Amino acid sequence: MASVSETGWPYVQHRGGKAGFLKVVDQRTMAFADYRGNRQYISAGNFAANDRACLFLMDYVRRARLKIYAYVERLALDADQELTDLVSDPTYKGRAERIFKLRLEAFDWNCPQHITPRYTEQQVEQAVAPLREQLQRLETENATLRARLENPER
């Protein structure tokens, strides 16, 4: 996520979480919980002076990237209970401090050139699961056939 300081300098800070941490509120609005991090509050401070932001989202599997240009509103967790419930993840160990609500201004899909496909451990496990199952079947079959060769009278 990129923000702009009072002096006009850009600032880029990684924002991330489990898949789906960025929530769609409506056709032109997204939001996410801002969790306690390094306690510098640079992005939050920048939004106090300039509410513009750019998000750079990567989908390595599909080799796609999306730039989102938005206006940011900083909200207290108790400002909108429905929104807080939407962005909250009770399974996440971090502590949310605020909500960043983004009003979409524009977006741009970039070309896939130079995006190296990457996969999560879970995606790799799902992809190789059928191979593991086939390998197990073949190993069992091999063991059975070896046993027959070693004991032909069976």
Each residue's pLDDT, cut to its tens digit, for the chain (154 residues) gives 999 988 889 999 887 778 889 999 999 999 999 887 766 788 888 898 899 999 999 888 888 899 999 999 999 998 999 999 999 988 888 888 899 999 999 999 988 888 888 888 998 999 999 999 999 999 999 999 999 999 887 6
Same domain, 70 and 46: yes
Same domain, 6 and 67: yes
Distance between CA atoms of residues 146 and 93, nearest Å? 51
Tell me whether residue 32 is exposed, middle or buried, using C-beta atoms within 10 angstroms of its C-beta: 0 to 12, 13 to 18, 19 or more: buried
| Helix/strand/coil for 46 | helix
Q: What is the pTM of this model?
A: 0.73
Same domain, 40 and 59: yes
Same domain, 77 and 6: yes
The total of structural domains in the chain comes to 2
Supply the pLDDT for residue 25: 96
Supply the pLDDT for residue 95: 84
Same domain, 133 and 99: no
CATH for 51: 2.30.110.10
Same domain, 58 and 134: no
Same domain, 53 and 91: yes
Same domain, 46 and 86: yes
Same domain, 126 and 77: no
CB 25 within 8 A of CB 86: yes
Supply the pLDDT for residue 19: 80
CB 86 within 8 A of CB 23: yes
CB 35 within 8 A of CB 92: yes
CB 83 within 8 A of CB 14: no
Same domain, 62 and 98: yes
Supply the pLDDT for residue 29: 97
Kindly provide the b/e burial profile for residues 56-65, where b requires at least 16 CB atoms within 10 angstroms of the residue's own CB.
eeeeeeeeeb
Domain residue limits at 132 = 119-154
Same domain, 87 and 25: yes
